Amino acid sequence: MKRTINTLLLILLFWSLGMPSAAADNHAQSRPMSIADCMSFAVENAVQVKTMRLETDNARWQRREAILAMFTPQVQAGSSLSSNFGRSLDPETNTYVSTSSLSNAYSVSGGMILFDGFSAVNNMRVSKTALQMGIDREQLAKDEICLATMEAFCNVLYFNSLTSVVREQVNTAKSVLEQTEKQLLLGQKSQADVVEMQAELADYEYRLIDVQNRYDDAMLTLKDLMFWPVDEALVIDTLFEFSSSEPTLHAALEFATQHLPSVRLAKASVENARYQLNTAKWSFAPSLSLNMGWSTRYYTYPDVADYEPDPFRSQFKNNGGEYLQLSLSVPVFNRLSNVMNVKKRSNAYAQASLEYEQTLRQVEAEVRRAEQDKQAALAAYRQAEKRAALQEEAYRLNKKKFQQGLVSPLDFRKASEQCLNAKSACLQNELQYRIKDSVLAYFSGIPYIEQF
Q: Is 159 exposed, middle or buried (0-12, 13-18, 19+ CB in 10 A)?
A: buried
The mean per-residue pLDDT over the stretch 380-406 comes to: 87
For residues 397 and 404, give the distance between their C-alpha atoms in angstroms, rounded to a whole number. 11
Task: Grade residue 379 by pLDDT with cuts at 50, 70 and 90.
Answer: very high
The mean per-residue pLDDT over the stretch 125-149 comes to: 91
If one counts every other C-beta atom within 10 angstroms of the C-beta of residue 339, the result is 13
Measured at the alpha carbon of residue 345, what is the angle toward residues 342 and 347, in degrees to the nearest 5? 110
Indicate whether 132 and 142 sit together in one domain.
yes
Indicate whether 313 and 274 sit together in one domain.
no
Indicate whether 111 and 185 sit together in one domain.
no
Q: Which of 208, 196, 195, 199 is nearest to 169 (CA)?
A: 208
Final residue of a structural domain among 329, 355, 386: 329
Final residue of a structural domain among 266, 301, 329: 329
306 assigned to some structural domain: yes
Structure confidence by residue, pLDDT tens digits, 73-108 = 889 999 998 887 777 776 667 777 777 778 889 999
CATH of the domain at 345: 1.20.1600.10
Res 244: pLDDT:
64
Indicate whether 390 and 432 sit together in one domain.
yes
DSSP code of residue 80: E
Indicate whether 110 and 140 sit together in one domain.
no
DSSP of 231-270: TS---B--S--PPP----HHHHHHHHHHH-HHHHHHHHHH
Indicate whether 56 and 67 sit together in one domain.
yes
The mean per-residue pLDDT over the stretch 338-359 comes to: 93
Q: Which helix (H) or strand (E) holds 222?
A: helix 191-226
CB-side neighbour CA atoms (13 Å) of 387: 18
- Report the DSSP beta bridge partners of residue 77: 108
Res 190: pLDDT:
80
Indicate whether 234 and 86 sit together in one domain.
no
Indicate whether 45 and 143 sit together in one domain.
yes
230 assigned to some structural domain: yes
Indicate whether 344 and 301 sit together in one domain.
no
Domains held by the chain: number: 2
DSSP code of residue 95: S
The answer to whether 431 and 162 are in contact (CB under 8 A) is no
Final residue of a structural domain among 329, 355, 382: 329
The mean per-residue pLDDT over the stretch 46-52 comes to: 91
Task: Grade residue 215 by pLDDT with cuts at 50, 70 and 90.
Answer: very high
Res 22: pLDDT:
35
Res 32: pLDDT:
85
3-state secondary structure of 189: coil
Domain of residue 149 covers 33-72+117-286+334-450
The answer to whether 356 and 266 are in contact (CB under 8 A) is yes
267 assigned to some structural domain: yes
Among the residue ranges 162-176, 200-214, 252-266, the one predicted with the least confidence is: 162-176
21 assigned to some structural domain: no
Structure confidence by residue, pLDDT tens digits, 141-173 = 999 999 999 999 999 999 998 998 899 889 888
Indicate whether 226 and 265 sit together in one domain.
yes
Amino acid at 12: L
416 assigned to some structural domain: yes
Res 262: pLDDT:
92
For residues 429 and 434, give the distance between their C-alpha atoms in angstroms, rounded to a whole number. 9
Indicate whether 91 and 109 sit together in one domain.
yes
16 assigned to some structural domain: no
The residue with greater pLDDT, 189 or 167, is: 167
Average pLDDT along the chain: 84
Indicate whether 226 and 269 sit together in one domain.
yes
For residues 144 and 56, give the distance between their C-alpha atoms in angstroms, rounded to a whole number. 18
Q: Which of 42, 94, 120 is nearest to 299 (CA)?
A: 94
